[in-house]
Each structure stands twice: as C-alpha cells, then as structure tokens.
Amino acid sequence: MSKVTQEELEKLQTQQNEITSLEAFIGKLELAKLENLLKLQQLKSEQNEYHVEIEGKYGKINIDLADGSYKPIEE
C-alpha cells in the first residue's frame, strides 16, 4: 500500500483539526446569534406591550428617555 510522507500526513491532519475547530466555533457563534436575536425579539415585544400600557394611561405621547418628560402627539 502506498502512503504519503509522515510530514504530509501531519500537515493534512493539522489542517483538518483546525477546520473542525473553526467549524465548531462558528456553530457556537451562530447559536449565540440565534439566542440573542430571540432575546431581542422578546424585548421588542415586551416594549410594544408596555408602550400600549403607557398609551392607555397618558394617551399618545412622545417620551424623552433621557429625563422622562413627554409631549402629546398631535394628530
């Protein structure tokens, strides 16, 4: 049976190990991305629900998030 040299084999094994490691790392990043996108979606939904609650109390307003002051929205 013919074989590549030990040096060639080691280089190929090293490259494959690096590829496998990077693929696993990218998979973890993609999972973290998905988790963060879901969290962002949930926070936006909660904010929209709270906006409806605030609107029920104060009417349609623009709120300055720096100091809490607000102005009615004129339609």
Ramachandran angles phi, psi of 35, nearest 5°:
-60, -40
Tens of pLDDT, residue by residue over 12-50, are 999 999 999 999 999 999 999 999 999 999 999 999 999
Residues 61/49, Cβ–Cβ less than 8 Å:
no
**C-alpha atoms less than 13 angstroms from C-alpha of 46 in its C-beta half-sphere:** 6
Q: What is the DSSP letter of 74?
A: P
Determine if the pTM surpasses 0.85: no
Q: What is the DSSP letter of 60?
A: S
Cα angle vertex 14, ends 31, 8, to 5°?
A: 150
pLDDT(58) > 80? yes
